Chain A
Amino acid sequence: MLLNLYYLIFLSVIITTAFILIFLYKRHLHSLSNPAYIASDILETINETVIITNAMCIIIFINQAGEKLLKIPQKKIVGKNISEIFSNPQTGITPNLKEINIRNEEGEIISVSTSFNKIINENQNFIGYSITLEENTTRRKYISQLQKKVDELASINNLLEENIKNKEQEEQKIEQKVQEKTFDISEEHTRLYTSIKNLCFGFIMTDKEKNIIIINNTAKNLFSIPNKETNITLDNLQTHIQGDLKLSKIVNLILTNNKLLAYNNNSIDNKYCNIYLSPVILDLKTAGAVILTEDITEEQNTEKSKEDFFTIASHELRSPLTSIRGYISLIKQSYFADIKNEELIKIIIDIDSLSVRLINIVNDFLDTPKLEQGKIRVKKEPCDLVEIVKACIKETNPIATSKNLLIKFTSSIESATALGDRDKIRQIIINLISNGIKYTEQGEITIAIEKTPNSQYKILIKDTGKGVSKENIKFLFSKFQRTDPNKPMTSTGLGLYISKLLVERMDGSISLENTEEGKGSTFSFTLHAYEQSIVTNKS
């Protein structure tokens, strides 16, 4: 009994152990560490069709992709010969990829790419085939997409190559242009540099820090700096300038204000020059300054000589004439009563009028150039025109009387205050009256004053002389012109020209009002009427 019990216990242990082992083995079979267990799962997930056959070409496995492609359930296909699947089954199956046509369950012909691989076990025995099928439509689609991409890439590549080529050509062109421009600039630079070096103007260029970057020989000569000298500064140049001009200061002005500046008549080492400054502007910014110097020493010396000549000539010619006229005036004033000889009296009167004429000629010749250059002072102050006209009539009356001409003031106006220079107004009126007397043989000279609507006074001098011919009117107020060129020369031909210059200096105008040959002429000139308020405002 006991033996039986032991036997039973032993048997139960054996059975329990066998179950445990079977359980562990099953668990091992279904674990991830068993490749065979996960292989089928992997095959199921592949998109391509996978068929496994045994050595007899009987299908033992087909994955879901295969079922889908062949449209046959797995159960129906397993156990069939591979030749039943392929309409044109391959013999002598190679592992190479081939394109073949197969027929599915619904009779459709499907083009597929196949790959046949022999399955060899660990003992090197052939145990079956693994066949993969890939539908060509999908493949072609991918290939076509791939080809398209390849084509796109190729065209992009071509485009890139073309661009690179164009770029290279462009670069070559640019390089050539740069070379040409560099040459041009270099040539231009040489030409400019040579021009600047040999310029008759002094040329100095500074940068914005006021350092001299170019100075030509003319400028060096002006500032008495040897041609070989380099490293010249504005301070060096300043030591040669006499007077208040400060180079550094005016260059500062140029650099900050960007305006052209000119300084005339500067004295540099006993020479005279005009200095012109200009900013150098690059990209709308001031990059420096250019100083141009114009040597005017020669002009200054010539001008000085001319001025000296006129000053000396004025003095030396007028002084003896003043004395002659003065002496005659003394004779007439103090000794005329004592002279009984009529002829002597006439001679003295003639000498007097000749001396006056000579003084007038000298005045005309000496004053005309100075008047033209504005070097004669012409005042603008209130002057009573009536008083001046009356004084002029008194002064010219003896000459008029000697020709039996009447000279009179015809306006009833008692006073007419104009703005001008009393002496110059007198000179103009005397000149116009003298002209009238000169060209009138009988009749009268009349002087009138009118006020014009535009606050001016017009002084009219009318004669009953021979008038001015049409061809002479045009040049009447020009230099060295006479009212009647056919008349023997008794004047300089400057009288009307000087009168015109003087009237214009007093902001007036002179004209021939009217003329008629054989009947006479009327000359007139205008001057601004003096108005208290205007002058007060101005002052």
Chain B
Amino acid sequence: MNTILLVEDDPSLIEIYSITFAYENFIIEVAHDGQECLQKVKTIMPDIILLDLMMPEMNGIQVLDKLKKDKETKDIPILILSNISESTYETQALELGALQYLIKSQYLPMDIANIVKNTLLKNHINPHS
């Protein structure tokens, strides 16, 4: 089973994505802010990270930058999952190495699950292996 690290501070969305990903046979780990993400990522070593941008302590762009600069974590595929539609954030995130920039409100949880599966396949990670 693949492990997803969901970096999200909204409890409702954590609940919704957790249920959906569990239904799709993913192991889901949650970090509630950027700091927690950086602490957990090396112990969990997830197959993919879903990263929110607007979070307390450290925003998603800063977390992404740190993850991509770290040798141990730089190869983990990262999808940005945010409700900010500013092109500056999107451009910055993609430049820093995020694979996709998804506006949460435009996707149902199942759609996100499908995108995650496709991303894992593209990165030669067999979903559910």
- Genuine A/B complex: yes
Residue numbers of A with Cβ under 8 A of B are 307, 310-311, 314-315, 318-323, 325-327, 329-330, 333-334, 359, 362-363, 366-367, 370, 374-377, 423
A375, B13: Cβ atoms under 8 Å?
no
Most B-side CB within 10 Å, residue of A323, A376, A423: A323
Which residues of the partner chain A approach B13 to less than 8 Å between Cβ atoms?
319, 322-323, 326
Instruction: Please measure, in the bound complex, the distance between the C-alpha atom of A375 and the C-alpha atom of B87, giving whole angstroms.
Output: 5
Helix, strand, loop or mixed for chain A's interface?
helix
| Bound Cα distance A4, B86 (Å) | 170
Closest to B102 in A: A423
Partner of B85, one of A319, A320, A322, A376: A376
CA distance A310 to B89 in the complex (A): 13
Beta-carbon contact of A325 and B108 below 8 Å: yes
What 6 pairs across the A-B complex have the smallest Cβ distances? A318-B83, A323-B12, A326-B16, A377-B87, A318-B105, A322-B104
Cβ–Cβ contact A326 & B85, under 8 A: no
- In angstroms, Cα B90 to Cα A333, docked, is 31
Can you list 16 pairs linking A and B with CB atoms under 8 Å apart?
A314-B83, A315-B84, A318-B104, A319-B13, A322-B13, A323-B16, A325-B108, A326-B109, A330-B20, A330-B109, A333-B20, A359-B106, A363-B106, A370-B85, A374-B87, A423-B106
Chain B residues whose C-beta falls within 8 Å of the C-beta of A334 in the assembled complex: 19, 23
Q: Are B54 and A315 in contact (CB under 8 A)?
A: yes
Q: Which residues of A contact B104 (CB under 8 A)?
A: 318-319, 322
Query: Chain B residues with Cβ under 8 A from A363's Cβ?
Result: 85, 105-106
A329-B110, A330-B20, A423-B106 known; A375-B83 Cβ under 8 A: no
Complex CA gap A51/B109 in Å reads 152
Looking at chain B's contact residues, is the secondary structure mostly helix, strand, loop, or mixed? helix
A residues in contact with B105, CB < 8 Å:
318, 321-322, 325, 359, 362-363
Proximity bits, B89-122, A CB within 8 Å = 1, else 0: 1110000000001011110111000000000000
User: Which residues from chain B contact A375 at a C-beta distance below 8 Å?
Assistant: 86-88
Task: Find A329's partner among B85, B86, B106, B109 (CB 8 Å cutoff).
Answer: B109
The reply to whether the CB of B10 lies closer than 8 angstroms to some CB of chain A is yes
How far, in angstroms, from A314 to B89 measured CA to CA in the complex? 13
CA distance A334 to B108 in the complex (A): 14
Counting chain B CB atoms within 10 Å of each CB, the highest count among A321, A323, A326 belongs to A326
- A354 shortest CB reach to chain B, Å: 14
Bound together, the chains give a CA A94 to CA B23 distance in angstroms of 160
Set of chain A residues within 8 Å of B16, measured between Cβ atoms: 323, 326-327, 329-330
Q: In angstroms, how far is the closest chain A Cβ from the Cβ of B86?
A: 6
What per-residue 1/0 map shows which CB atoms of B51-66 lie under 8 Å from chain A? 0001000000000000
Rounded to whole Å, the gap between the CB of B21 and the closest CB of chain A is: 12
Q: Which residues of A contact B89 (CB under 8 A)?
A: 311
B1-25 residues at the A interface, CB under 8 angstroms: 10, 12-13, 16-17, 19-20, 23
Q: Do A323 and B19 touch (CB < 8 A)?
A: no
A329–B83 CB distance below 8 A:
no
| Contact A370 B106, beta carbon cutoff 8 Å | no
Contact partners of B109 in chain A: CB under 8 A: 326, 329-330
Query: Which of B54, B86, B88 has its CB near the most chain A CB atoms (within 10 A)?
Result: B86
A320 CB to closest chain B CB (Å) equals 8
Q: Which of A307, A320, A323 is the one whose CB lies under 8 Å from B86? A: A307
Please, which residues of chain B bring their CB within 8 A of the CB of A320? 12
For the complex formed, measure the closest distance between the CB of A304 and the CB atoms of chain B, giving whole angstroms: 12
Contact A366 B12 (CB under 8 A): no
| Nearest B residue (CB) for A317 | B83
Do the beta carbons of A377 and B90 come within 8 Å of each other?
Answer: yes
CB <8 Å contact, A323 and B10: yes
Pick the contact of A314 from B20, B23, B84 — CB < 8 Å?
A: B84
B85→A327 contact, CB < 8 A = no
Considering only CB atoms, which chain B residue lies closest to A316 in the complex?
B83
A374 to B12, CA, bound (A): 32
Contact of A370 among B54, B87, B101, B108 (CB under 8 A): B87
A333 touches B83 (CB 8 A): no
Task: Provide the bound-state CA to CA distance between A325 and B108, in Å.
Answer: 7
A314 touches B108 (CB 8 A): no
CB of B108 within 8 A of CB of A326, answer yes
Nearest A residue (CB) for B17: A326
Query: Of A321, A330, A362, A374, which is in contact with the most chain B CB atoms at under 10 Å from its CB?
Result: A330
Are B85 and A366 touching (Cβ within 8 A)? yes
Write the nearest CB–CB distance from B85 to chain A, whole angstroms: 6
Additional 16 contacts, C-beta under 8 A, given A314-B83, A374-B87, A375-B88: A311-B54, A311-B89, A318-B103, A318-B104, A319-B10, A321-B105, A322-B83, A322-B105, A325-B105, A329-B16, A330-B19, A334-B23, A362-B105, A366-B85, A375-B87, A377-B87
